[in-house]
Chain A
Amino acid sequence: MIPAAFAYFRPTNVKEALTLLDQYKDEAKLLAGGHSLIPLMKLRLAQPRYVIDLGRVRELEYIRESGDQVLIGAMTRHVAVETSDLLRQRCPLLAETASVIGDAQVRNMGTIGGSLAHADPAADYPAAILALDAEMRAVSSQGERWIRAEDFFVDMLTTALQPGELLVEIKVPALPPRTGTAYVKVAQKASGFALCGVAVVLTMDQQGVCQHAAVGITGVAPKAYRARAVEQALRGQKLDASVMAAASAKAAEGIDPLEDLHASAEYRAHLARVFCRRALEQAHARI
């Protein structure tokens, strides 16, 4: 369990980090919390020659309000998201999601930027990021751009980030009125990763009709996805248990579920349907 040797750099700001990235290109790896990268390096599945540690890039550690959005720096640790009063009030879905990542030690080190950039198919954040229609800001020496959640996750362990690009910020919307959210997951026993995790955002109008429904599901498919058929079945409806149950039956529609020693494809699809219903019921009860 000894990683291959590498040269180590510790920039203190984004500009230095980008210069190093440009210099060493695909021979370099960014190190954020290290809780996905270091396990891979110990197994020598990753053997970067250069490691660029973002641990001292303090300008990327913040959670702040900007109009009706909340901005989160990429190096913000899971524990800071979990315990942020601002997020608990304005975007409780993200705080709730962070609170069930791995365990206390993992949450002390892991970062939101590292988790999103890694795009593990069983990671928790992607479900919430999709359901919230969050946006990711990437910078490179060439400039910067915003990437929508749905364009960000490309495939298993693959995002829209290009070589030389650094994920610096995540933008999530503050909750509108009459909105309820929930994240529920069933965890793989040893690691805590999601066998299935469902994030829900529901907004009702004054008459109690569902105006907006967004459902993000992780752990089930090679990448987290929006359950569009479920959302369609909810929009424009008065929500009761039977409407939500009928909609949840569509949670794995059009999906080719993952299969591994922890869960068969069939079981994962089943979990998606069951946990979708539970997440909907919880979000609805919180409105």
Chain B
Amino acid sequence: MTRTTIEVTINGMRYRHEVEPRLLLVHYIRDVVGLTGTHIGCETSLCGACTVLLNGAAVKSCTLFAVQADGAEITTIEGLGEAGQLHPIQEGFWMKHGLQCGYCTPGMILAAYQLLQRYPDPTEAQIRHGIEGNLCRCTGYQHIIEAIRYAAEKLRSQKV
């Protein structure tokens, strides 16, 4: 089958690969590039575990072909902060117990990232609406909402 060459920037690093057009973006990120922080939960576009940022917008990477992302800038969970220096959203999840098993967490954090860019001071309703595309089987969401609120405050205090 014909293969197509794509070039993407993931977390600031440039990658160039020949891929089959039918390769899903999430499989490209995990299996070809080797960044396994992005999880596959349902593979049916419902759970949001596979959420990454594509040119700044949160998308479900299981519902995109890698070829569609040719030329794009992608951010995965590995691109947000690092060991010893967590991103404020990661810190919020840590401080407020926003995770239990952690399976939904990478996608949840990237959905929260987009949410806080759109609404730096979100209401609870805006937070709930913003993470509608992300399912969590453990936390009951309450701690996730508190984690996002924590992150919002921290990010705003860093700006001034």
Contacts and interface: CB of A to CB of B under 8 A. Distances in A.
Q: Which of A109, A190, A191: most chain B Cβ within 10 A?
A: A109
Interface stretch (B8-16, B45-53, B73-81): B45-53
B37 to A, nearest CB: 17
Interface stretch (B57-65, B139-147, B152-160): B57-65
A8 B48 contact: no
B22 A105 contact: no
**Among A4, A8, A31, A102: residue with most chain B CB under 10 A:** A8
Interface string A94-111: 000000001111101100
A109 B63 contact: yes
B133 A104 contact: yes
Given A53-B68, A106-B133, A39 B45 contact: yes
Contacts of B62: 1
Given A104-B58, A104-B115, A105-B60, A1 B67 contact: no
Interface in A1-28: 1-8, 10
Given A53-B67, A108-B58, A109-B64, A1 B22 contact: no
Nearest to A9: B21
Contacts of A3: 22
A192 interface: yes
Interface string A194-226: 000000000000000000000000000000000
Contact of B59 (A1, A7, A105, A192): A105
Contacts of A108: 54, 57-59
A34 interface: yes
A103 B21 contact: no
Interface in B54-113: 54, 57-60, 62-65, 67-68, 70, 111
B158 to A, nearest CB: 24
A72 to B, nearest CB: 19
A103 B48 contact: yes
Contacts of A136: none
Contacts of B4: 8
Contacts of A2: 22, 24
A271 interface: no
Contact of B48 (A39, A42, A105): A105
Interface in A84-136: 102-106, 108-109
Contact of A5 (B20, B46, B133): B20
Nearest to B132: A103
Contact of B133 (A4, A7, A105): A105
A192 B2 contact: no
Interface residues of A, number: 30
Contacts of A103: 48, 132-134
A55 interface: yes
B21 A6 contact: yes
A51 B21 contact: yes
B67 A8 contact: yes
A107 to B, nearest CB: 9
B132 A104 contact: yes
A38 B59 CA distance: 13
A35 interface: yes
Contacts of B115: 104
A10 B44 CA distance: 25
A103 B134 CA distance: 9
Given A105-B51, A106-B45, A109-B59, 5 more contacts: A6-B21, A34-B65, A35-B45, A53-B68, A104-B58
Interface of A: 1-8, 10, 31, 34-35, 38-39, 41-42, 51, 53, 55, 79, 102-106, 108-109, 190-192
Closest 7 pairs between A and B when the two form their complex, measured CB to CB: A103-B133, A8-B21, A103-B132, A108-B57, A105-B133, A1-B43, A5-B1
20 contacts: A1-B24, A5-B20, A6-B21, A7-B21, A8-B67, A31-B68, A38-B45, A42-B24, A42-B43, A51-B21, A103-B132, A103-B133, A104-B115, A104-B132, A104-B133, A105-B59, A106-B60, A108-B58, A108-B59, A191-B46
